Amino acid sequence: MAFTWVLAMMVWMGCEGEIGAPVEVIDPHSAAMKEEATVKHLELDLAVDFEQEQLAGTAILELDRSEDATQLLLDSKGLEIESVMISPNGRTTSPTEFSLTDEDPILGSSLQVALESNTRFVHIQYKTTPGAKALQFIPGNLNPSGKPFLLTQSQAIHARTWVPIQDSPGIRFTYEAKITVPQGLMAIMSAENDTVLHEDGVYQFTMDQPIPAYLLALAVGELEFQALGNRTGVFADPSVIDDAAYEFAEVEQMMEIAEGLYGAYRWGRYDIVVLPPSFPFGGMENPRLTFATPTILAGDRSLVSLIAHELAHSWSGNLVTNATWNDFWLNEGFTVYFEYRIMEALKGRDYSEMLASISLSDLQKEVAELGVGSPDTRLAVDLTGRDPDDGMNAIAYEKGYYFLRLLEETVGRPAFDAFLNEYFSTFAFQTMNTEQFVAYLETHLLDPQDLDPEDIKLEEWVHGAGIPDNLPKAKSKRFDAIEEAISAWIAGQDLYQYPTAEWTSHEWLRFIYLLPDAAKPEQMAELDRIFGFSDRTNCEVLCKWFVKSVTTHYEGAYPAMERFLLSVGRRKFLTPIYTELMQTSEGKELAYQIYEKARPTYHPIAVETLDETLDWPSAVQLSEAN
């Protein structure tokens, strides 16, 4: 059968019960045809080659298939397929025909494998190729330990760049793996992990719970482990393992809070690995093993809400997963809500309300940048024909959070908590799309409360653009005090009367956010002298300070800003600083000078974003022409 993206983009989501029979769900970012054949188990045997920056080995795929299926369609991007064999039992193999379609810039190629009537296993010998977007090989001279490091980032559709797989969040599989690495390095995965170094460099892994491909993860490097509790721990470079263990000391308590809210943790252990600085995200919720940026090691546990967020994903996202990336808000909106509930229980309501206030600011900024009427400000977004990374913005996270908060405030917390408990239990290890969730919401929450969808403007929230006018109001007394301090400073008063020594990082973030863009450089210098912003170790505060410094032309912060951009790879911090620098000709020149030095140390995902932000290819050509 000839392959076309239109015909091959169908997956079936088996959510049974009161909300109806299985519903056909089109995944515009995968070639998989679930009605013919799907992967139910993956067995990997890969060797890691740091010199070639390559993974090589085999993937054995065990299938669920229809009796009349004649082919298996897999997603791949840039993979070198050496051979494909099929088997009825996983042992006796025979060659089969296979082909790769022309490569799409976003989706890659479909690997088409011919099946026989008794085929249950497909064996693929392959190699990754340079530029694989999921892989970052970090040479020893760019890693604090002096040893090389490998990390993967499979979300959203990058698993296909290191494994031939059905790379759709709507398809789940179990897996096992054998990973061979250079002696002296440790390998860990989103699976059951050993916590000690293997002298022979061979590591075995098992993941018995089914996961989608975007949660397939591998890290290799010089790592040590420290336990945080009976079922929690942290892996990190030896130079930061003690700092990491201190920073994450509250994780076991977070776990207990989360289970008290929404039911038992279903993944066995919960461990964290602190990655090198070039990791492009704050965290990645790989099951059993959260990947975390070292930028949260602030020394005062002030940024651990990020860990609360990744832990919450163990329910919202990992346990009940968005069926396609058009439904991304079902992962992230739920997780932000859950994160704030954990932090409220841990730190108090006023603390979580500070987080919610920051969330609102981020949402308002995102809507302003996208445009109030932009279809990209809808929760149910359409990313067909686009990179799903485009949908990973404040709309899914913050608008999703405020919609769930509206539901809670409308029906009351007890009823809403009971609803979420039932939701996570009913659809555990399954997928969910927006339409099914809305139907489930109406049946299991709104109807029992005698609420009409119009009472909460359900359609406007889910399918409408912008921010509905029944947005809940976050209120933080601590932020009110910040606004008072800023007003006093603008009026010429000093800030010594305010208890700034007791402020959390969130209060400092609010303070910097509220500084007027028209502040003079000498005023910024005075604040820097008093509060030492440019010398802070809290990366969240540093980022906000550097952006405001560029806006106000406070060049006294530029040396520290350059050191920051050369040492941090988290895209959340890099993008706003470079974006602000690009607003003036002088700033552009500085941005190009810094980026040319920093670019080789950034992750491919961050490089892709920043190349576009800086119009980097054109900038290089212009520089060479001059």
Catalytic positions are 310, 397
Tokens standing for 416? 């809403």
Tokens standing for 481? 């005090």
Residue 75 has phi, psi (to 5 degrees) of -95, 140
Strands (E), 354-402: none
Angle between helices 251-262 and 413-426 (to 10 degrees): 90
Q: Judge contact between 41 and 62, C-beta under 8 A.
A: yes
The answer to whether the bond into 258 is cis (omega within 30° of 0) is no
Own/partner long-range contacts of 560-567 (Cβ < 8 Å, ≥24 apart):
560/534, 560/535, 561/534, 562/590, 562/594, 564/539, 565/594, 565/595, 565/598, 566/594, 566/597, 566/598, 566/601, 567/277
Distance CA 562, CA 546 (A): 10
Q: Judge contact between 354 and 479, C-beta under 8 A.
A: yes
Distance CA 307, CA 251 (A): 8
Residues paired with 65 in a beta bridge: 37
Residues paired with 120 in a beta bridge: none
Residue 111 has phi, psi (to 5 degrees) of -90, 115
DSSP annotation of 65: E
Distance CA 312, CA 472 (A): 22
Q: Judge contact between 332 and 446, C-beta under 8 A.
A: no
Distance CA 320, CA 331 (A): 8
